[in-house]
C-alpha cells in the first residue's frame, strides 16, 4: 500500500474513532434519554478548542493567532480539561434549557445557542482567533514517536483506538445499568417517571453532562490529529450529521451508533468525494446535505428503529410466571385464568 493510501486509511480510522465517541455521546443523550441536543456540535468544538489552547502554549502579542488562557500541558491533561469544559458547559446549558416536559422548547433553545456560539467565536477574535480558527496545534508524543507522517498516523490510530475502548467501557456500564432503564423511561414518558419519585430534571442534567464531556473528548481526539480547528468545522448543520448517523444506525443501541458513524460519517461522506465534479462550486455539498435529509426521512418512515434497533432487555424466565393454561395449550377453557386471558387479548 502506498504511503498516501496508508495515511488516508489512518486518517479515516481516526475520524471513525472520533465519530464513534461522538455518536455514543449523542446516543446517550438522544437515543437513550430523549434529550434533543441540537447544539451537539458545540460540545465537540469546545473540546477541540480547549485541547488546542492547552497545548499551543500562551498566546503572545507577536504570535499570528490569538486565544484565551493558553498553556502547554502534557498529554492527557488537555483531553481531560476538554472533557471538564464540555461537562461544565453542558451543566450551565442544562440549568436553563433542560425541560424534559418541554422537548420542543429544549430543542429550539439548543439550536439557537449553537448558532449564537458560532457567531460569538467568529466575531470575538480574541477568544479563538475568529474565522481563521487555531492552527499548528501540537500532536501528543510527536517528539517520541517521530514526525514521520505514516508512522505517527498509525500511532495516533492506536491512541484513538485505546480512547475508544475506554469510552466504550464507560458507555457500556451506563447503558447496561438500571440507571439507563430509568433514562429510557424518561425518554418514553418523563411525567410518569417523575410521578414515581424520580427528579427527571436532575437525571437529564446528569446524562447531558456525561454526553457533553464525551462529545468534547471526541473533539479533543480529532483536533490533535488534524492540528487545526476553525468555526467552519462546527457549523450548526454538522449536528444533524450525527443525528442522521444515530437514526440510521439505530438510536438507543451502542452498536447502532458505531454502524451509523461508519456508514453515514464514513462511507456516505467519503463516498461522495469520489463522484466526478459537476455543476457550480458547492453544488456537490448541497446535494450531499439533501441526500442526508432524504436518508433521515427514509429511515424515520420505513425503519424508525434504524439498522440495529434498540435491544429488548429480557430477564430470563419468570419464577412461577408461566402463561395461563389457556395460552399454553391453545384451547379455550372456561376457567378464571382463561376468561382473564381472553379478556386481556380482546381488550
Partner 1 sequence: MNADTPTAGPEYEPATADALNVIDLHLAFGGNKAVDGASFAIPRGQLTGLIGPNGAGKSTVLKLIAGSMQPTAGTILMNGNNISGSPAYVVARLGVIRTFQLSSEFAKLTVLENLMVAVRTMRGNTFVGAMRGRRYWRAAQDETRDRAYVLLDQFQLAYAANQYAGELSGGQKRLVEIMRGLMAQPEVLLLDEPLAGVNPTLRLVIEEHLVRLRDGGLTMVMVEHELPTVDRCCNSVVVMARGKVLASGTMATLRQNREVIDAYLVG
Site membership for partner 1, residue 320 (CB under 8 A): yes
Contact with partner 1 (CB under 8 A): which of 319, 329, 330, 334? 319
139 or 187: whose CB is closer to partner 1?
Answer: 187
Q: Which is nearer to partner 1, 124 or 335 (CB)?
A: 335
Q: How far is the CB of 160 from partner 1 (least distance, A)?
A: 23
The strand pairing partners of 128, in sequence order, are 67
Q: Which of 120, 214, 210 has its CA nearest to residue 164?
A: 214
Q: Looking at beta carbons only, is 282 or 321 nearer to partner 1? A: 321
Residue-wise burial string across 227-245, b where 16 or more C-beta atoms lie within 10 A, e elsewhere: eebbbebbebebbbbbbbb
Contact 257, 20 (CB under 8 A): yes
Q: 143 to 172, contacts with partner 1 by CB under 8 A?
A: 170
Round to whole Å and give the CA distance between 39 and 68. 22
Q: What is the rounded CA–CA span in Å between residue 214 and residue 230? A: 20
Report the site for partner 1 in 325-344 (rule: CB under 8 A): 327, 337, 339-344
Q: Which stretch binds partner 1 (CB under 8 A): 11-19, 129-137, 260-268, 322-330?
A: 322-330
Q: Which helix (H) or strand (E) holds 76?
A: none
Listed ranges 47-55, 117-125, 146-154, 313-321: which one lies at the site for partner 1 (CB under 8 A): 313-321
Cα first-last separation, the chain: 65
Binder of partner 1 out of 280, 318, 330, 334 (CB under 8 A): 318
The interface mask with partner 1, positions 181-200, x = CB under 8 A, is xx-xx-xxx-xxxxxxxxxx
Pick 125 or 333: Cβ nearer partner 1? 333
Task: Using CB under 8 A, pick the residue from 3, 123, 124, 176 that binds partner 1.
Answer: 176
The residue within the footprint of partner 1, chosen from 60, 313, 329, 334 (CB under 8 A), is: 313
As a whole number of angstroms, the distance between CA 177 and CA 165 comes to 18
Residue 134 pairs in a beta bridge with 229
Min CB(343)–partner 1 separation in Å:
4
Name every residue whose Cβ is closer than 8 Å to that of residue 148 and which is 6 or more positions away in sequence.
none
The answer for 250, left when phi > 0, alpha when psi is -120 to 50, beta otherwise, is left
Work out how close the CB of 201 gets to partner 1 at its nearest, in angstroms, rounded to a whole number: 9
| Residue at grid coordinates 457567531 | 119
Q: Restricting to residues 233-272, which ones interact with partner 1 according to CB under 8 A?
A: 252
> Considering only 51-59, 61-69, 202-210, 236-244, which stretch makes contact with partner 1 by CB under 8 A?
202-210
The closest alpha carbon to 202, from 100, 104, 112, 273, belongs to 100
Which residue, 2 or 343, is less far from partner 1 as judged by CB? 343
User: From the CB of 258, what's the least distance to partner 1, in Å?
Assistant: 20
For residues 226 and 214, give the distance between their C-alpha atoms in angstroms, rounded to a whole number.
19
Angle between helices 236-249 and 283-302 (to 10 degrees): 40
Using CB under 8 A, list all residues that contact partner 1: 170, 173-174, 176-182, 184-185, 187-189, 191-200, 206-207, 210, 252, 310, 312-315, 318-324, 327, 337, 339-347
Amino acid at each position: 500500500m502506498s504511503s498516501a493510501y496508508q495515511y488516508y486509511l489512518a486518517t479515516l480510522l481516526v475520524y471513525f474513532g472520533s465519530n464513534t465517541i461522538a455518536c455514543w455521546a449523542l446516543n446517550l443523550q438522544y437515543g437513550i434519554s430523549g434529550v434533543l441536543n441540537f447544539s451537539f456540535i458545540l460540545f465537540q468544538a469546545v473540546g477541540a478548542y480547549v485541547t488546542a489552547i492547552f497545548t499551543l502554549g500562551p498566546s503572545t502579542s507577536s504570535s499570528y493567532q490569538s486565544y484565551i488562557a493558553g498553556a502547554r500541558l502534557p498529554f492527557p491533561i488537555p483531553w481531560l480539561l476538554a472533557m471538564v469544559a464540555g461537562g461544565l458547559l453542558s451543566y450551565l446549558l442544562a440549568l436553563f434549557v433542560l425541560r424534559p416536559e418541554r422537548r420542543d422548547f429544549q430543542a429550539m433553545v439548543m439550536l439557537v445557542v449553537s448558532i449564537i456560539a458560532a457567531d460569538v467565536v467568529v466575531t470575538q477574535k480574541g477568544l479563538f482567533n475568529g474565522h481563521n480558527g487555531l492552527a499548528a496545534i501540537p500532536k501528543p508524543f510527536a517528539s517520541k514517536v517521530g514526525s514521520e507522517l505514516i508512522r505517527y498516523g498509525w500511532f495516533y490510530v492506536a491512541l484513538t483506538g485505546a480512547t475508544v475502548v475506554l469510552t466504550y467501557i464507560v458507555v457500556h456500564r451506563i447503558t447496561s445499568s438500571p440507571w439507563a432503564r430509568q433514562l429510557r423511561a424518561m425518554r418514553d414518558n418523563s411525567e410518569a417517571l417523575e410521578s414515581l419519585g424520580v427528579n427527571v430534571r436532575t437525571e437529564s442534567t446528569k446524562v447531558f453532562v456525561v454526553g457533553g464531556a464525551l462529545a468534547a473528548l471526541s473533539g479533543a481526539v480529532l483536533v490533535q490529529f488534524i492540528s487545526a480547528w476553525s468555526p467552519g468545522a462546527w457549523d450548526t448543520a454538522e449536528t444533524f450529521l450525527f443525528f442522521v448517523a444515530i437514526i440510521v444506525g439505530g438510536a438507543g443501541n451502542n452498536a447502532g451508533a458505531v454502524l451509523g458513524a461508519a456508514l453515514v460519517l464514513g462511507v456516505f461522506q467519503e463516498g461522495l468525494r469520489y463522484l466526478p465534479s459537476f455543476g457550480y462550486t458547492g453544488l456537490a455539498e448541497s446535494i450531499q446535505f439533501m441526500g442526508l435529509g432524504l436518508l433521515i426521512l427514509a429511515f424515520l418512515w420505513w425503519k424508525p428503529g434504524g439498522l440495529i434497533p434498540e435491544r429488548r432487555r429480557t430477564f430470563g424466565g419468570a419464577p412461577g410466571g408461566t402463561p395461563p393454561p389457556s395460552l399454553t395449550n391453545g384451547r379455550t377453557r372456561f376457567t378464571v385464568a382463561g376468561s382473564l386471558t381472553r379478556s386481556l387479548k380482546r381488550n
